[in-house]
Amino acid sequence: MSSGPIPNQVSKPTVASFGMRLRVFLRLLCGLRKHDFRAAATWINTMYPGVSPVGRLIKFLRWSLWQMWCEIPDALCTAKFAPIVSRTPIWLAAGNPLENHPWGSRPDAALPKRVHIVVIGAGFTGGALAYHWSRRAASNPDLTMTVLDMGEAASGSSGRNEGLVVMGRYCHMVEQTVLRHLPAVRPNLSEPDRQQLARQFAVAYCKAAYRNGDLIEEAIRREGFDCDYARHGWVQARDADQQAALAESVRTALDTGLTDWTSIPPDEVKLRSGMAVTHNAGYSIAAASFHPAKWVWSLLNSSLRSEKIEFYSRTKVLKVELVGEDYHVHTTRGLIKAHTVVNATESYTPLLHRQFHDRILPTQTQAASGDGGPAAMPPHIGISGTRGFFGKHGDKVMVGSDATRVPDHEAGRIQPSRFITKFLLGEMRRYFGDSRYHITHEWSGTVSYTPDEYPIVGVMDGHRQYIIAGMAGSGTGVAFNAARCVVNRILELIDEPDDYPPEYFAPTRLLDPEHHTWPKLERSLGG
Ligand SMILES: Cc1cc2nc3c(=O)[nH]c(=O)nc-3n(C[C@H](O)[C@H](O)[C@H](O)COP(=O)(O)OP(=O)(O)OC[C@H]3O[C@@H](n4cnc5c(N)ncnc54)[C@H](O)[C@@H]3O)c2cc1C
């Protein structure tokens, strides 16, 4: 940590005057928009577990008033917004090397009439599918792949996120979300059996995620991808009332041997992240950070060296139908016939495939980025408070939060809540103290959650149409390895482990739970 002068840091805590408090308070009230109310409902439901609905509402109102009158005005003494705040995610601000591909350089280009496989979506998932295809289908010239995106490469969540390469969600969290959902789909199981099944789901997920993290690092090193990759872990603050849950989650990690997830004391939190906390924090040891859009562009650029793979931006898929032996992929630029289709459309999926309405839930998350920020915040490490995340990438500091479901048709919309950004300024101040911070970019994206917050990876129609989705805001923990497994399955290659067995990950788990082949209960697992 620097011992020299710290230009951004403000030496004495700043406190807003009465007039400033009133101004900020009124501005916050007048600036409330539809999404603020939706987000408030989410926060009311998640912030006070175990409290009655009325109790939660009262607590939330009290907390909101405190934020609006005290925390936010104090934070706004040193944090400012640019006169015009850009809605372009910071990762895309310097331009996109694959913009308008191939139309920009080849306006007369045309979609192929027939290919072996169409991938819909060019984010983490579509990029990974192209990359693995380029490596695994190399020997056969007939195995052509076309990747389509209605926007640009990495224009979805993959170019709008926090830039953490996560080791997935930690085991205990996955276990809990699956366990909550199991009574709805496995009503006949006893409670101990459900607990056992949830544990198995969690272990399967984490094993796949751990391999995913290592595969990403291997690919970056092997290919020499320039995407600012650094592996320094992810610190996640926990308040006093969350310490028991943290200890339990670390115990689960030990019980299962999935020991990436651990707990660190306040002095280590300070050392690693710069956050001043009074209680232990969770720590994912092997999480990394990177430039997520550069990762997607690198994957695609490397794949496009293969003559078998083509990418078309600004090409929207309107419908996919199975006609005889072929899939007819109807797009805004014409029809492509394909033997196989993979949907890499994450939160947009229900718009294309209505059967996923209420099964893939588009969920809004937002971020803002700017200059300055806490001098004590080290770069390239994952940092989360209890209600938001922070990160330093190069000379930019990012803040972000939210996980509020939005209607299907709002997938991908950029509609960040200014209220949430201002709230995050208060949170950053709480953990790092005052600092001068100048926000220049603010945006949102949609991730997708399934009802059990567990991904789906596999065939979705009983034939040859696949999907990888439902990554619960942790796409880097799933997409790369899942794409590898799907490519291997399509190519019938069995020389590598398949980390996404259908009994856990197949979409039938959501689409037809009654007829889904559920995993057998294994009694030998811990817990
Ligand atoms: C603010 C924020 C912070 C996040 N932080 C992290 C993080 O630190 N680490 C992490 O792992 N994850 C994070 N996430 C989640 C992560 O970004 C996603 O899980 C991941 O990007 C999903 O990748 P994807 O390729 O499956 O989907 P997307 O990147 O959303 O790509 C889907 C693509 O499909 C295209 N598409 C959709 N429908 C069609 C159609 N009909 N025709 C053609 N194209 C179509 C879209 O244009 C889009 O480009 C965050 C997300 C947000 C919003």
Per-residue pLDDT at 358: 98
CA-proximal residue: ligand 1, atom 32 (nearest): 345
Asked if the structure places residue 294 within a domain, the reply is: yes
The reply to whether 129 and 195 lie within a common domain is yes
Query: Domain span at residue 204?
Result: 112-224+290-360+450-512
Final residue in a domain of this structure, among 418, 449, 480: 449
User: What stretch of H or E contains 330?
Assistant: strand 326-331
Asked if the structure places residue 215 within a domain, the reply is: yes
Per-residue pLDDT at 50: 86
Taking 90 as the threshold, does the pLDDT of residue 470 lie above it?
A: yes
Residue 7 pLDDT level (bands cut at 50, 70, 90) = low
Taking 70 as the threshold, does the pLDDT of residue 167 lie above it?
A: yes
pLDDT in tens, 400-430: 999 999 999 999 999 999 999 999 999 999 9
Asked if the structure places residue 91 within a domain, the reply is: no
The reply to whether 121 and 187 lie within a common domain is yes
Asked if the structure places residue 173 within a domain, the reply is: yes
Let me know if 387 is exposed, middle or buried by CB neighbors in 10 A (0-12, 13-18, 19+): middle
* Residue range 312-316: mean pLDDT, rounded: 98
Final residue in a domain of this structure, among 397, 423, 449: 449
The preferred substitution site among 146, 161, 319 for testing ligand 1, maximizing ligand atoms within 8 Å of CB, is 161
Per-residue pLDDT at 455: 98
The reply to whether 412 and 481 lie within a common domain is no
| CATH number of domain containing 201 | 3.50.50.60
User: What stretch of H or E contains 419?
Assistant: helix 418-432
The reply to whether 440 and 368 lie within a common domain is yes
DSSP state of 519: P
Helices (H), 76-170: 124-136
164 lines ligand 1 (CB under 6 A): yes
The reply to whether 134 and 219 lie within a common domain is yes
367 lines ligand 1 (CB under 6 A): yes
| CATH number of domain containing 419 | 3.30.9
Per-residue pLDDT at 485: 98
The reply to whether 405 and 365 lie within a common domain is yes
The reply to whether 333 and 404 lie within a common domain is no
The reply to whether 199 and 153 lie within a common domain is yes
Return the bridge partners of 364, or none.
Answer: 404, 446
475 lines ligand 1 (CB under 6 A): yes
Taking 90 as the threshold, does the pLDDT of residue 8 lie above it?
A: no
Final residue in a domain of this structure, among 405, 422, 449: 449
152 lines ligand 1 (CB under 6 A): no
- Structurally, the chain folds into a number of domains equal to 2
CA-proximal residue: ligand 1, atom 33 (nearest): 121
DSSP state of 13: -
- In angstroms, what is the span from residue 124 Cα to ligand 1's centroid? 7
166 lines ligand 1 (CB under 6 A): yes
Asked if the structure places residue 94 within a domain, the reply is: no
Nearest to 151 by CA among 407, 345, 405, 368: 345
91 lines ligand 1 (CB under 6 A): no
Per-residue pLDDT at 11: 65
Please state, rounded to an integer, the average pLDDT across all residues of the chain.
95
The reply to whether 396 and 328 lie within a common domain is no
474 lines ligand 1 (CB under 6 A): yes
